[in-house]
Amino acid sequence: MPKYIVATVEEIPVGQRKLVEVAGRSIGVFNVNGEFFALRNSCPHQGGSLCEGRLSGFLTASAPGQYTYTRRGEMLRCPWHGWEFDVKTGQSWWDPARMRVRSYQVSVETVTPDTLTPAGEGLQKGPYVAETYAVTVEQPYVVVEI
Ligand code: FES
């Protein structure tokens, strides 16, 4: 599967996201406590811009007045009608057996950009080659596989 550089690690701080266009798809890339996850930015309900939704967690109660808030920032709520999905898996929480949003493999890699396809390109190599220069990049990138 092709890999696409979508950001430097510094571009997506913990608890934040970045919306990117990769190979004709709108994708949200999330940093959840230092781990990166990517979801298709299209809600399976009616196509809302899911990745622009609010992040939250789970609130459970063992007894009246005794609440526990867990998995902070791991649940994504669609801004259109409120369907919720797990950012880490794309799984829904109202019908987890049947409903999920497409998720993509994400990695953090220190690479030379010419080994990956920049996001939004999808072009084929032509027969002509321009003069090039060696470039060294020494920072980690967030890379999405599609
Ligand atoms: S379009 Fe997302 S909940 Fe309806």
Q: What string of DSSP letters covers 48-77? A: --GGGSEEEEEEEEEETTEEEEEEEEEEEE
CA angle, corner 22, sides to 47 and 39, nearest 5? 50
Confidence of residue 115 (pLDDT cuts 50, 70, 90): low
User: Using CA positions, which residue lies closest to atom 3 of ligand 1?
Assistant: 81
Phi-psi region of 126 (alpha: psi -120 to 50; beta: other; left: phi over 0): beta
State the distance from the centre of ligand 1 to the C-alpha of 94, rounded, in angstroms.
13
User: What's the pLDDT score for residue 119?
Assistant: 58
In angstroms, rounded to a whole number, what is the distance separating the alpha carbons of residues 39 and 29?
Answer: 7
Residue range 118-139, pLDDT digits in tens: 655 666 777 888 887 876 667 8
User: Which of 22, 15, 39 is CA-nearest to residue 88?
Assistant: 39
**How distant, in Å, are the alpha carbons of 67, 85, 127, 140 from that of 41?**
31, 12, 35, 24
- Regarding the beta carbon of 76 and ligand 1, being less than 6 Å apart is answered no
**Confidence grade of residue 99 (pLDDT, cut at 50, 70, 90):** confident
- Give distance in angstroms: CA of 103 to centre of ligand 1: 17
pTM of the entire predicted model: 0.80
| Ligand 1 closest atom vs CA 46 | 1
Whether the CB of 54 sits within 6 Å of ligand 1: no
Model confidence band, residue 117 (pLDDT cutoffs 50, 70, 90): low
User: What is the pLDDT, as a whole number, of residue 26?
Assistant: 97
Asked whether 78 lines ligand 1 (CB < 6 A), one says yes
